[in-house]
Structure 1
């Protein structure tokens, strides 16, 4: 302990003496600690406690009730899922009916959700609306008044900040309904902490609003799990505060033995392990340069009787002292950044209020321990190198390793290959531990190969001008310091590439599972309630109205839907479906107990796709069309459209699934929903006939399930066509303001068609990954800059020698620029290789897991963001420019150059 105390005193003294180098080392350690602390603090602030979740979902109520059916059902404890039940209720129950099934003395507050068409600053907009009494104490927590008062009369409303901005009004102003028949006074600004978005709140009884579909309940005693099960027998779904805070101990409802998802824990451990390796590699060059600058001092200690153990402790003490300092600085800055950026995250990223200002002490303590531990680990290799240095060579000024041992190159190549193979094996078994070991081994293998790569590049120095030749020679002679600096940049770039590839693949996955109604930016104008007017507007009128609203319209057409023939009873509905040919049905039933292998086979079987899909706005399917609207509905190629239109004009059917067409024909089933016919168990429509018609499958255009029947085919099947609306092709996506103007203009046309814009899948929702990508990018640039700055500090003696022999300031700047390019360039190249390997392994593991989760999982397509890689590869240019600009033109005279 006495020896360690002395080593720590020496390390503290050295840190005070070399303030510049100390600042760079602390920055190198603090940078990843800052990023980790920022993520940890934000995670804790936005991770709601059970009590906070109950307040967001229940307000001050003891429970919320939903009554979806009159038959018994079985729910999970939090009320988010249920099984059983029968036909849905035809009408919403009254408050009296809800109160009748509750204990005496209970109070019920209705809560409904609908939409409201209002005039906005640009035109007319359809805004989501909540019907509830904001003045009732039970609502507090679900919603909160920001300014003003709660609406009370049937002509008063409260709006959110976003809605206030879109409506273009202020507190006390009047908002008019889309048809101009009703006005509402804005009495207050309301906020829903769980969803910061456009919202309008009306009091119960305001206008012709639908009845409530949810009820807040205040009971004399907490609603227990036994009472929840009793209400389930009536077909009532319950969210109980008491059950949320204290779930039932029944194993049937326990998510797992420890309440966690093993896959999530495994991936978290994988990311944490790679992060630890990155911190070690980032801090490595700092201590390598520090040990290099103190070679003479360490040699004097050895010459005066210091043992190799003493030298190791002195260098390791540097790691402890600077690790503690870097951890403290990084944690403080991370907390400050998280607190300062919380409002921006709430408004623009998460779109929900955080639970409170919290710092997650245990996680920050773990981050601090990680920083100190990795600081010591990063100093470990320089410490052993310092204990084995040649004392005479160090005292006489000779330095560096001129040649790399061949065995380290062989070991590095073997480690990189074995690590990649091990990571791939772990991905195939979905084992995060094996994947982590493999990726770490592969990155360490690249680190071991770095000195040999430096020596290989140095051989080309004789072909270069003076400054690049000196930079290559100096890097090759000081590989012990250059290799860790290159490894630091490699680690940062690898992290950025892994995050970038994952984000790009996640966006591609979201696009793959999304089924657009139309090509991107196209617009439909359809009749609400499927009730077209007797004298609908013409296509030319709708297109002209769209152009007047500012839409860039390139074409327009109308579309129809099959309907029952005239004279059919009102309680009868008709439809058409394409028959799936024999052999094209999925051989696996997701409702049965399939093992993992069968689920993976089903995931790979094209007959079993699609599994999970997200859909865009309204567009009727199937569609009746003679080919006029087909280009706008499908976006197919001209040759494909020509063949499809020929089939439609011949009385056929066009589909988008090739497996539905057999020998140029498709089987069409005529279906009816008639109380006099036995219903089909799947969809309630009975099949009353099947007819074979000419068919064609589109091979281009939207990847959307779409069926288009010709008018002649509909007539042959004994049905009629009903006009439903219009489709408009646009050359650019309409803005929200243009959509509002178009909605307002459509209100003046017969039938008042409603617009819907195809805006694509939007954000994938992975906000945490986006934050991680930004943090990784900052760490990448910071690591490149700090590592090259350390290298420049290490080469100050060379700069002084050049100045002494008459080198111009431009030569010295060019030397620093070349040294920076050498470190950042080679590090970025190795980082891209390591990052792509790691990303492929992680995506492969996720795809293996999603295959075993069929039919609910979808694979991640491997997508490389080339623009992001171009930015990453631009890091050397940025580092070189910074080195050239920050290198001082004139250096102070050195009394001694070592």
Structure 2
């Protein structure tokens, strides 16, 4: 049989070709030897010794790896592309693993930073017995009061009396106290520690960088971050916010456990007495001694216990953390990342196998088995996966070492334990890289093993058809993934939800080739360039389908998470009840039982100079009349009419039947959780503060003011009002009998329920009602109406000015519903999906251009214009990016809606009522994802050369 101008099927030009395209290869020479007649005449071929199966497999793999190494050197561009794609996730995983190992401290490193060279750190937290966690970070039982029930801290002698003879006790506060200081902008908080400088017991807790150690209570050392925050240098002083004390900075220190804003002074220089002690005990502090100390109300952090924790049953708190959920989540996320790399690298291996189609056909013609053909292609994945692993490991380790100072300062905010490289994790990452390469080459390998030998030798593509069983399997997996995600969402199990998304994504990947073939049928209705692009996509499904699937997976994940984040924020916004209009300031002036002098309103207004303040109103609350026993407290609160009280009370043992009955009862429409900003709930007003506090309409404020002037009550919850009146309960708690039931009485007053403005639950009593109840009012704070939200520096200056009026004044601002960095997450997701889309489209377009060079030659031969090539590349990029993005957006929306519907279904049985998730679509994210295919098409059109190749074709 001859192919292409009469040349033999096993030759290129006039030279014999071996199994991998080598002129004069081993297989060709063996074929010639078998076909040549023996010199002494024909006779039987001498028998060859049989090889064991394992030996044959080893030799086959060795040969395949040698051929793969040679092919990698020949196709340098494709090799660099695949190695880079595999090396990038390896680099990221290596950086994370090495950084994790460097920042995971050993017990000795942890204890050295917390207690220096001491045997334990003790804290006296209660008068009665306590039970603590092994590391002393949690405890239970006890009264949590100072020693002896008063305000006196324990002494060194009292602590030493609890320890064996020969023990040494040193006062120290290594965890720090919170201290309000004067800053350049006003007032700011900072941690201050009390360390016995000069005592070797604190070796490792702090390191002096410049200057000297404090020698007296009025001196301090500071971290670099603290000096920047206070805008001072060594030799300067910093002052407490109330001006009661100042310290001089004599040195710059580094605290290994905290690289943030930290100050340190001698223990007797602390604003409050030291509340902990470093101890050295003969033989150390074991768990038995810790339990004996717990019996006296002392909590201990022991070096021996940190090294050798007690059995799990010895502590009321779990020892360590259950990492199974984190491990499962990490495995699933890693699986998604691996699948993404496999899908992106798959087209390159498919094109490589397509270019080697003739060589593989020669191997089959020479007697090669399908298993050997698969090994030849899989060996490419092994070689390139190993190369990607080596590159990624080397760059990742170098990056972790070089980036350690940045991670310390900006991410961990603490020093690393040392240079460690986590060998077990690196070995696993290298294995994952090789596995990724093999998985990426898996489909091309099976396709190559099933190719028709004659079609391969002649250069034809053969029959391209998607098997129905793969489509059926894909549909089954997609359905199973959706069901699994719904189950996980209903039970609020993140790992199950993510597992369902992984399974569903694999199912969609299996369906993609059939979908590509279906869409290719509409090509006959399109112009030339899109028609050829669709045809090539359908004919090269082994290369196009993974690229489309990669785009689909990235876009689907971005859209699904974006929908959930936007819907969750909308739920938070709807559930938030603001206490004041956004941007308003509240000043809290606690009266401390009537012992504080009231603050003048005009003085507060003067302190707010420079702020965009439009009005200042004083807030007052009900209080006992002067002459009442000192310490007694008096309260007013509304009584809900008996006919409107919910018959079911929330509790952990509430049955499902009771919950359903409560949900069906309109009297039990209670929310499970509500967010509040700075607010005043029970207050006294004659109508002056109503517009500022409530933001209600003028007509609503006028009606409420009339009610207050008539001696009534204004409320925001109308269920308390019945027939225009409310029932008010007066409660008085005597200070000398704290456990006695309060003295109560009720009275009726006219009421008005606001119909506009803020919905925060608020009760506003009139001065006339207080007179009827025998009460008075006292100042509790101020509200400052603003025309815009003040900045941080402005609020700091205002806080500093308030401290001059009275040291206990605090200021807060209504910021509205809590917002995280969800918008940043959405942008990052959209950008990542866009980069993957452009990358996949570029890879698939470049590979299709290389694969379709013969078709371009034919177009040039029949007179096609040069711009046809640009249009063809543009159309090919549009097919990959556009189809992948559309499928991804659809899959992401369906997945997100399914998860949200499952969560809302779970809320349908809850009581108190959980607010359901609204369905919100992140249109800005979808806008980015819609524009990305256009960018990919434009890039493909601009970067493609217009000149069509003209070359002779052999088929």
* TM-score using structure 2 length: 0.80
Pick the aligned partner of 1:235 from 281, 297, 321: 297
Conserved? CA contact 1:172–1:186, under 8 Å: yes
Q: Distance in 2 between matches of 1:229 and 1:847?
A: 47
Q: Which one has a bigger Cα radius of gyration?
A: 2
Evaluate the alpha carbon distance shift between residue 127 and residue 326 of structure 1 in structure 2; reply closer, same or farther with a 3 A threshold. same
Q: Which residue of 1 aligns with 2:508?
A: 446
Against the structure 1 CA distance between its residues 437 and 233, is the aligned structure 2 distance closer, same or farther, given a 3 Å change threshold?
closer
Q: Structure 1 residues 14, 245: CA separation in 2 closer, same or farther (over 3 Å shift)?
A: same
Aligned equivalent of 2:238, options 153, 164, 175: 175
Q: Distance in 2 between matches of 1:484 and 1:807?
A: 30
Does 2:856 correspond to 1:794? no
- Matching residue within 772, 779, 794 for 1:738: 794
Q: In the alignment, does 2:335 pair up with 1:278? A: no
| 1:54 maps to 2:114 | no
SS of residue in 2 equivalent to 1:795:
helix
Q: Closer, same or farther in 2 for the Cα pair 1:861/1:2, shift >3 Å?
A: farther
Offset at residue 823 of structure 1 (A): 1.2
Q: Are 2:782 and 1:726 equivalent residues in the alignment? A: yes
Aligned-pair CA distance for 1:312: 1.1
Q: CA deviation at 1:313?
A: 1.1
In 1: Cα distance, 2:160 partner to 2:142 partner: 21
| Separation in structure 2 between the aligned mates of residue 604 and residue 192 of structure 1, nearest angstrom | 58
1:362 counterpart (398, 414, 424)? 424
Shift of 1:19: 0.8
Structure 2 equivalent of residue 571 of structure 1: 631
Task: Decide whether aligned partners of structure 1 residues 569 and 58 sit closer, same or farther in structure 2, where only a CA change above 3 A counts.
Answer: farther
Distance 2:573 2:215 in 1: 44
- 2:187/2:800 contact within 8 Å kept: yes
Q: Aligned pair 1:156/2:219, yes or no?
A: yes
Distance apart, 1:35 and its partner CA: 3.3
Question: Which residue number corresponds to residue 93 of structure 2?
Answer: 36
Q: Which deviations, in whole Å up to 9, do the C-alpha atoms of 1:641-678 show, x marking residues without a partner?
A: 67766665554555666766677666544344424335
Separation (CA, whole Å) in 2 of partners of 1:138 and 1:600: 62
Structure 1 residue 602: deviation in Å?
10
Q: Quote the Cα distance in structure 1 between the aligned partners of 2:410 and 2:908.
A: 34
Distance in 2 (CA, whole Å) between partners of 1:135 and 1:645 is: 67
Deviation, 1:728, is 2.3
Find the aligned partners of 1:571 and 1:446 in 2 and give their Cα distance: 70
Question: Higher RCO, 1 or 2 (CA under 8 Å, sep at least 6)?
Answer: 1
Please say which of residues 622-631 and 85-94 is displaced more in the overlay: 622-631
CA contact (8 A) 2:242 2:804 kept: no
3-state SS of the aligned residue for 1:237?
Answer: strand
Q: C-alpha offsets along residues 543-577 of structure 1, whole Å, 9 cap, x if unaligned?
A: 454342xx333543222233322123333333345
| Superposition pairs of residues 174-323 of structure 1, within 5 angstroms | 174-178=237-241, 183-206=246-269, 209-251=271-313, 253=315, 260=322, 262-323=324-385
The 10-residue stretch of structure 1 (480-489 or 504-513) with the greater mean CA deviation from structure 2: 504-513
- Structure 2: which 5+ residue stretches go unaligned? 1-57
Alpha-carbon distance in 2 for matches of 1:516, 1:244: 46
Instruction: For residue 486 of structure 1, report the CA deviation from its aligned partner.
Output: 0.7
Partner of 2:589: 527
User: Cα offset for 1:483?
Assistant: 0.6
- Cα root mean square deviation, aligned: 4.5
1:14 Cα deviation after fit: 0.8
Write out per-residue CA displacement over residues 151-177 of structure 1, whole angstroms, 9 at most, x where no aligned residue. Answer: 333433333333322322222223345
In the alignment, structure 1 residue 94 sits paired with structure 2 residue 154:
yes
Q: Which moved more, 1:476-485 or 1:769-778?
A: 769-778
Residue of structure 2 equivalent to 1:717: 773
What is the CA distance between 1:694 and its match in structure 2? 5.4
Q: 1:781 aligns with which of 832, 835, 845?
A: 835
Matches within 5 A, 1:332-731: 332-399=394-461, 404=466, 408-428=470-490, 438-462=500-524, 464-497=526-559, 500=562, 518-527=580-589, 534=597, 536-538=599-601, 542-543=604-605, 545-548=607-610, 551-578=611-638, 583-584=645-646, 587-590=649-652, 621-630=681-690, 632-633=692-693, 648=708, 651-653=711-713, 668-679=728-739, 686-691=742-747, 706-731=762-787
CA distance 1:665–1:453, change in 2 (3 Å) = farther
What's the counterpart of residue 22 of structure 1? 79
- Structure 1 unaligned residues grouped into runs of 5+: none
State the SS of the aligned residue for 1:164: helix
* In 1: Cα distance, 2:843 partner to 2:888 partner: 19
Q: Distance in 2 between matches of 1:176 and 1:678?
A: 39
The TM-score normalised by the length of structure 1 is 0.84
CA-CA distance at 1:893 after TM superposition: 6.6
Aligned residues: 884
In 1, distance between residues paired with 2:279 and 2:460? 82
Residues 1:756 and 2:816 aligned together: no
Return the alpha-carbon distance in structure 2 between the equivalents of residues 354 and 851 of structure 1: 48
Kept in 2: contact 1:113–1:213 (CA 8 A): no
